[in-house]
Amino acid sequence: MPESPGQPSPSPANPRRQRIETMLAEDPGDVFLRYSLALAMDSDGEWEPCLEILEDLARCSPAYVPAFQMSGQILVAHGKIDDARRALREGIEQARGQGLDRAAAEMAELLATLGSAGEHDS
């Protein structure tokens, strides 16, 4: 399968990821498959390309709200606290705008746990 931005060639070490990439080749616009690929990439230690996919999903119309929360979690895990705050704040706004109150509350809770940690780390 030819490579496209945000979609590296299949990883033989990860059969789940390989299945996702095969399905994406047939339906590259599938938001859930793109999100699943991002999660598989993160599991494979490819967190930066994972974030690229999540950022693309966050820019969809409507924005894919789970992408904001996952971005925040990944950024926190890699010490990018200020970037995580930005992703979570934007995600909360998008979630509220889409009537996804539970998702907004979960992101607000994660944001609150960050306190003043890592301010201006980026």
Q: What is the pLDDT of residues 55-107, one digit of tens each?
A: 999 999 899 999 999 999 999 999 999 999 999 999 999 999 999 999 999 99
Residues 66 and 14 in one domain: no
Q: For the whole model, what pTM was predicted?
A: 0.82
Residues 2 and 50 in one domain: yes
Residues 73 and 100 in one domain: yes
Domain range holding 25? 1-60
Residues 69 and 91 in one domain: yes
At 11, the pLDDT band (50, 70, 90 cuts) reads low
Report the distance separating Cα 105 and Cα 122, nearest Å. Answer: 25
Residue 17 pLDDT > 60, yes or no?
yes
Tokens, residue 74: 């990944």
Sign of CA dihedral 55, 78, 95, 17: positive
Domain boundary among 17, 38, 60: 60
